[in-house]
Structure 1
Amino acid sequence: MRPPTAARGDRSRLRLVVVQALVFSLFATLFVRLYYLQVIGGESYQAQAADQSVRDIVVQPQRGLIVDSQGRPLVANRTSWVISMDRTLLGKLGEGQRTELVRRVAVVVDAEPEDVEARLVTCGDPGSIRDVCWNGSPYQPVPVATDVPKSVALQVLEQPEDYPGVLAEQQNVRSYPRPFGINLAHVLGYLSPVTEDEYDLAAERDDRSLNGASVVGRAGVEKQYDEWLRGLPGYRRVAVDSMGRVLGDDSLVESTPGDTLVTSIDAKVQSVVERQLAERIAFQRTQLDTVTGRKYAADSGAAVVLDAKTGRVIAMASQPTYDPDVWTGGISEEQLKRLYSERAGTPLLSRATQGQFAPGSTWKPFMTAGALTNGYSTDTALPCSSGFQVGNRVFKNYESGAYGSIGFAKALEVSCNTFFYRIGYDFWQRFGSDPADIDARDPLVEEAKEFGFGSRTGIDLPGEAPGRIADRHWKQAYYESQKDYYCELSAKPQTADTSDFVYKFAREFCLEGNLYRAGDAVNFSIGQGDTIVTPLQLARGYAALSNGGTLWAPTVAKAIVSPEGKVLRRIAPRKTGEVDVPQKYLDYIDGALENVSRVGTMAWKLVGFPIDDVTIRAKTGSAEVYGKQSTGWVASYSEDYVVVMMISQGGTGSGSTGDGIRAIWEALYGVEGETVRPARAAIPGTVPPARLPQFLEDGSIMPPVPDKAALDKAGE
């Protein structure tokens, strides 16, 4: 039997062997693991380590320029100081340190700490606020204030110990050179930050032109041609330390600037149009309306100048307007409310393309075309009486004037309502005396649609309104959509809040609001009632009268040019239709409208104008609107241009806008007093340039080389 001490020694040696085996196995495992990490997987882990010490920062591209037809910059870029915060470093700070840093940044950029915090939240995370949250990379410094004063940026740069993880950098933002002091806000549009949905959609499409810090066109040509203007972002790789502090640049992929948009706008003409519209509105507000006994409200207005031969937009103005620079660097809630405020006149609404108004007597040339192509002749004579009775109502002439038996030319010259009432009533009796027949033919409605009214013109600007032809189909559809409301209203006992007129109207509408009566037809014949047009639609219609019947889709853009000056795309005028009116009738209407300028309702505003040298055709209009003052119109044209101006609640057409119309024509042809001086015209050669501006190698932009025809015309 072995002694106990020997047994204990064996057990001790066994334990030692086991421990040694365990230690050896651990060292072996460690050695194998180290070998795998350093040899087999070394390159992969080395790349990951390098990736943790290098970050990609998006370099925003310079947005493309927008220039006028002479190469003058309408929208350019300038540098702006932007304050950003590095969220990676913020995450390494204690709660108290982070709160204090956010507070300090909020103070220096003149914001609330809550607003700064809201910008730091990733879109989609709890607490994120739409259009405020951050869409970009988690490693990208988040902009919390843009367009800050240089002194603020220097304070951040010079005191890095007080602003750890806070960056002050210069970026490009939109600027508005305003040649000749123009505004052009509704044509140019504005930018705002990319939304979460837009960013997600771009990611799905692998669209590299958008990132979390991008701005996107929201209106005007900025929106219409956004993809050309925005360019492609670049990427700057920076080395950072363990605390996320930038140590230096690692590499740089340059951004690609956006392309230049050449427009058909002429800044010099635009300045005249804007000034005249604003001055006419301001003047009318000082004038007494003899009908209402108070001064004209003149609450809004618009003016359009088109190239009659191509439909290109030379100038377009709308009042009230806004400063396009208000969007640069972010717009305040108070400013945004004002832009949408009805009390302020809804400045964001472009009256030229989105405002819809009764055309009044400017409608009559199209009704003349409809009558002449449907049985009437240039020899037709009808009474221009002071009134015309339809049923139990007398439809009156303007100021109850009477001119005896006259033809179409005289009816246009003196703007006789009762002459056209008779035509509208005649067609109603012949084709649609059954008020409930919604399919009855109406030659005047057909002609209005032939000239493009009731549908969008197709201009290359977003948000265009279609106008409205208030025919039988529209009246039936409107009745069906409103019947329940008015029937319910008429069934209730009348209260003090409901006027006799409203109650009576509701009752009549409930019973027979779908019936197209003779009164609707005669109102339609003079541009009254429920038919509405935009100033741009009316301008296009008059362009068709000028150019022989061609309907063009109005265009603002002429070409897309690369940053190097290469023409990438020419945007040609687009023909959308041809009116089916014989040339002899167009010539007849043309002569009648020339007489409107010589001896008719526009003549008193053109006294002394050299109309033999610059032949202007025109039609005035005063549209009556229930509960409001009259809307004044003048639509005019020459062989080269169409000029239309209107003022809502401004009074008669020539009385409210006539002086402005004359001033625009003087600028277009270089008229000084009674003399035409083509060299003084706003546009060299007096006609829109066919060629594009010259893009030189040094980056400068020069006016187009004049066409020989333009030079010849200017020398006449």
Structure 2
Amino acid sequence: MRGPHLHGRLLAIFAVFAVLLTTLVGRLGQLQLTDRAELAASAPVSSTKTVYRPAPRGRILDRHGTPLADNAVRVDVTLDRAALADLDDGGEGVIRRLAAALGTERTSLRDRMTLCGAPGAAPPPRCWAGSPYEPVTVAEGVDAEVALGLGERAERFPGVAVTTTAVRRDRDRPLAPQVLGYLTRAGEEDVQTSDGEIQAGAVVGRAGLEQQYDEQLRGTAGRAEVRVDARGIVIKTLSSQEAVPGEDVVTTLDADLQRATEDVLAGAVTDARARGLAADEAAAVVLDLRDGGVLASASLPTYDPSVWTGGISQAEYRRLTAEPESSPLTDRVVAASYPPASTFKVVSLPAAARSGVDLDEPVRCSSSVRIGDRTFRNFESRAYGTISWRKAIEVSCDTVFYEAAASIWDEAGGLSGDDADDVLVRSARAFGLGERTGIDLPGEVSGRVPDRGWKQAYWEETKDETCRRAREGYPEVSSRARADYLKEVAEESCERGHQFRPGDEVNLSIGQGDMLATPVQMAQVYGAIATGGEVRAPRIVSETRSPEGERTPIASGERTRVDLDEAVVDTLRPALEDVVRQGTAAGAFAGFDTDRWPVAGKTGTAEVFGEEDTAWFVSYAPADEPRYVVAVVIGEGGTGGGSAAGAAREIHEELRRLED
């Protein structure tokens, strides 16, 4: 009898469980389908959060107030996650209709609604990197007609809003992109190291003035304290504080001169390429000697900063950054260095005078000279016989400087010499070469004065590889003669590469060998010659202006003094005028009115191993009352007189027009 009774009891128990389960399922269905809004409203509050809103960024202006980096109003579309969460379908219908209205894929909008870094989120940049407690920007730069249509049908798009955002304006033609820099979204490191000044999703300057003056330009973000429920959805705003716009930054640049300088530089590169030269890079800078202000700064190759707006493609990013030495992002005025070649002779001549050379005594300009165990040839000019030091500058005679350098090397102690006793090394450093000028731009390089200390350090750093090559040679080089030459060089460097030999001094005297300088450094050197020794450090920004119009001046660059003997100045300054009137730059300045606008300058043609020559011309004007310095360099551009001097001439013509 126990069997039937047990079976009946089990059936009764199962029946009770079935009723309970049915009731539970029904209640869950009610909760899901009918009471969602009520539950959301009654859900416990998890925390109070702070939401930041970026401030309108300050502008970057030229010296006359012309905007170089300006703001524009961009129309964006946002989606409120809270509004979507409260819809019966979780917002799927809204997302479908919005995707159709915007002409985009539904999946891209759905990806955008995921929070970067959250489990299951779409990968950047498809996910949302902003605050989880504010509406998500799902479309930027929306056409006005599309935005109007969304507003007119608001009932079909709950949670959708059309907003305006202040962004950098895309100019029809960007000026000075390497100087101005560009903006990108803040990364994790930016946020963590900013002491709360930068928030996730904010934009920050990544180069140029945008980076250098980012703190002044970005202003103070607005903030709101909000209450969120357990789902992370904002249910109430507790307090809010408006954003404070950033300050305007006023530069020393002249927009008209900047535009002209960029055009001139591009034209010079085009002309050089038409003559069969590579001309793969170039730079030009114009300094105002009165205050050290940079009036124009151009660098090639260049780029359009607007490529960073809204996220850059991977292909474009690789093009801009794959090779730093040829990157369009590099500001070649301050962040690239080149052998200055014969433009360096204005440094060597004061050194020769300091070593005891009488600048009034004639010197012999031969076709070559034997120093130590090597013959050094006159590269930039023919043999002129007995000439003056002034003439040596005019015709750029190398052998005159070779012999002066050999004497300086002997006086410094030869192989056992000391840099402190080397007047040529000291002269280079007195002019500021081998160290940064202090210009208010990020990324400036120091160039290089290859003295004894540098050569010893470089040899120690590279001797293992050099000595390996001395043993094994260069089997990968197809030319036997070339491979033998490289092996011979490696053998000598392995054994004596630490020695500062006579050839090192000789090469330094004409700005060759391992000597490197930036265009802005050489502009500073010629500024010192123009003024008789006194020059200010270059600068780009003159003042900042608050949104209320309050001005905060930026101090002019620090004054530096180069000790130049009167005899040096009396020789150099007329010699540099002769270069333009009848010397190595005369062809480029043919027909130029040097009486009305006298120019003084020096050509330079730098030999670079494995490449075509680099062309230089550094100058100042008016020569009788110097105010402007112009430095031009064209990588693989041929001779200084054939390429760089012509570009400088056109810039001087523009300067003369500005003066008129």
Same fold (TM over 0.5): yes
Return the offset for 1:429.
2.0
Instruction: Report if aligned partners of 2:115, 2:132 keep a CA contact under 8 Å in 1.
Output: no
1:15-94 aligned at under 5 Å gives the runs 58-89=52-83
- What are the superposed Cα offsets for residues 206-225 of structure 1, whole Å, 9 maximum, x if unpaired? 43xx3323111111111111
SS at match of 2:390: helix
Letter in 2 for 1:185: P
Match of 1:519 in 2: 503
Letter in 2 for 1:140: E
SS at match of 1:278: helix
**Residues in 1 aligned to 2:325 and 2:450: alpha-carbon distance in whole angstroms:** 29
Match of 1:637 in 2: 620
Match of 2:5 in 1: none
Match of 1:325 in 2: 306
The 1:496–1:184 alpha-carbon spacing in structure 2 relative to 1, beyond 3 Å, is closer
Return the offset for 1:83.
3.5
Instruction: Report if aligned partners of 2:68, 2:175 keep a CA contact under 8 Å in 1.
Output: no
Match of 1:308 in 2: 289
SS at match of 1:306: strand
Match of 1:453 in 2: 433
**Residues in 2 aligned to 1:543 and 1:272: alpha-carbon distance in whole angstroms:** 22
**Residues in 2 aligned to 1:524 and 1:107: alpha-carbon distance in whole angstroms:** 67
Letter in 1 for 2:572: I
Return the offset for 1:589.
1.1
Return the offset for 1:305.
0.2
Q: Does 1:218 align with 2:206?
A: yes
Q: Does 1:281 align with 2:269?
A: yes
- What are the superposed Cα offsets for residues 263-286 of structure 1, whole Å, 9 maximum, x if unpaired? 110011111111100001001101
Match of 1:701 in 2: none
CA RMSD of aligned residues (A): 3.5
- What are the superposed Cα offsets for residues 460-501 of structure 1, whole Å, 9 maximum, x if unpaired? 010011101111111111111111122233333652447333
Letter in 2 for 1:70: H
Q: Does 1:484 align with 2:464?
A: yes
- What are the superposed Cα offsets for residues 176-223 of structure 1, whole Å, 9 maximum, x if unpaired? 546xx5521011111111111222333xx343xx33231111111111
Match of 1:708 in 2: none
Instruction: Report if aligned partners of 1:102, 1:113 keep a CA contact under 8 Å in 2.
Output: no
Match of 1:24 in 2: none
**Residues in 2 aligned to 1:454 and 1:115: alpha-carbon distance in whole angstroms:** 54
**Residues in 2 aligned to 1:87 and 1:602: alpha-carbon distance in whole angstroms:** 68
Q: Which has the larger displacement, 213-222 or 57-66?
A: 57-66
SS at match of 2:76: strand
Return the offset for 1:454.
0.5
Match of 2:183 in 1: 191
**Residues in 2 aligned to 1:99 and 1:388: alpha-carbon distance in whole angstroms:** 86
Instruction: Report if aligned partners of 1:130, 1:196 keep a CA contact under 8 Å in 2.
Output: no
Match of 2:137 in 1: 143
Q: Does 1:120 align with 2:114?
A: yes
**Residues in 1 aligned to 2:116 and 2:476: alpha-carbon distance in whole angstroms:** 54
Letter in 1 for 2:590: V
**Residues in 2 aligned to 1:197 and 1:400: alpha-carbon distance in whole angstroms:** 55
Match of 2:218 in 1: 230
Q: Does 1:443 align with 2:423?
A: yes
SS at match of 2:563: coil
Match of 1:350 in 2: 331
Instruction: Report if aligned partners of 2:616, 2:632 keep a CA contact under 8 Å in 1.
Output: yes
Instruction: Report if aligned partners of 2:419, 2:451 keep a CA contact under 8 Å in 1.
Output: no
Q: Which has the larger displacement, 103-112 or 507-516?
A: 103-112
| TM-score, length-scaled by structure 2 | 0.84
Return the offset for 1:621.
0.6
SS at match of 1:262: strand
Return the offset for 1:432.
3.2
1:618-637 aligned at under 5 Å gives the runs 618-637=601-620
**Residues in 1 aligned to 2:503 and 2:139: alpha-carbon distance in whole angstroms:** 60
SS at match of 1:120: coil
Instruction: Report if aligned partners of 1:190, 1:327 keep a CA contact under 8 Å in 2.
Output: yes
Match of 1:612 in 2: 595
Return the offset for 1:117.
3.0
Return the offset for 1:347.
0.6
Instruction: Report if aligned partners of 2:81, 2:233 keep a CA contact under 8 Å in 1.
Output: no
Match of 2:345 in 1: 364
The 1:527–1:507 alpha-carbon spacing in structure 2 relative to 1, beyond 3 Å, is same
**Residues in 2 aligned to 1:452 and 1:386: alpha-carbon distance in whole angstroms:** 32
**Residues in 2 aligned to 1:504 and 1:118: alpha-carbon distance in whole angstroms:** 62
Return the offset for 1:116.
6.7
**Residues in 2 aligned to 1:48 and 1:227: alpha-carbon distance in whole angstroms:** 43
The 1:460–1:628 alpha-carbon spacing in structure 2 relative to 1, beyond 3 Å, is same
Return the offset for 1:257.
1.4
Q: Does 1:383 align with 2:364?
A: yes
Q: Which has the larger displacement, 366-375 or 169-178?
A: 169-178
| TM-score, length-scaled by structure 1 | 0.78
Return the offset for 1:608.
2.8
Instruction: Report if aligned partners of 2:57, 2:246 keep a CA contact under 8 Å in 1.
Output: yes
Instruction: Report if aligned partners of 2:99, 2:106 keep a CA contact under 8 Å in 1.
Output: no
Letter in 1 for 2:613: S
Q: Does 1:336 align with 2:317?
A: yes
Aligned-pair identity in percent equals 40
**Residues in 1 aligned to 2:465 and 2:508: alpha-carbon distance in whole angstroms:** 26
**Residues in 2 aligned to 1:388 and 1:124: alpha-carbon distance in whole angstroms:** 73
**Residues in 1 aligned to 2:97 and 2:189: alpha-carbon distance in whole angstroms:** 30
Instruction: Report if aligned partners of 1:57, 1:141 keep a CA contact under 8 Å in 2.
Output: no
The 1:95–1:525 alpha-carbon spacing in structure 2 relative to 1, beyond 3 Å, is farther
The alignment covers a number of residue pairs equal to 612
Q: Which has the larger displacement, 48-57 or 586-595?
A: 48-57
SS at match of 2:598: coil
Match of 2:514 in 1: 530
